[in-house]
Amino acid sequence: MEAMIHRTIKISDTKILIWELTETWEELLKQFDKNEIDSVEFSTFHTDKRKKEYLSVRLALKTLLNRKIKICYNDDGKPFLSDYFAEIGISHSGQWIAVITHPTQKVGIDVERFQSKILAISERFLSQEELEKILEDKEEKLKKLTLLWSAKEALFKVIGKEAVDFSRQLLIFPFEMGKSGKMKALHIPRKKLYELNYELTEEYALVYLIDNMEQNIL
Whether the Cβ atoms of residue 198 and residue 180 lie closer than 8 Å to each other: yes
Select from 83, 85, 87 the least CA-distant residue to 69.
Answer: 83
Q: What is the pLDDT of residue 215?
A: 58
As a whole number, mean pLDDT of residues 130-137 equals 79
- 199's enclosing H/E stretch is strand 192-200
Task: Give the three-class secondary structure for 175.
Answer: coil
> Is 110-210 in the same CATH topology as 6-104?
yes
CATH number 3.40.50.720 is the correct assignment for the domain at 6-104: no
Prediction pTM value: 0.92
Query: What is the structure's pLDDT at 11?
Result: 87
Domain assignments of the chain as residue spans, ordered by start: 6-104, 110-210
User: Is the pLDDT confidence value at 216 over 60?
Assistant: no
DSSP string, 19-50: EE--S-HHHHHTTS-GGGS-HHHHTT--SHHH
The dotted CATH code for 110-210 is 3.90.470.20
Give the model confidence (pLDDT) of 17-65 as tens digits: 999 999 999 999 999 998 899 999 999 999 999 999 999 999 999 999 9
C-alpha dihedral sign at 47, 53, 58, 60: positive
User: Cβ distance 4 to 18 under 8 Å?
Assistant: no
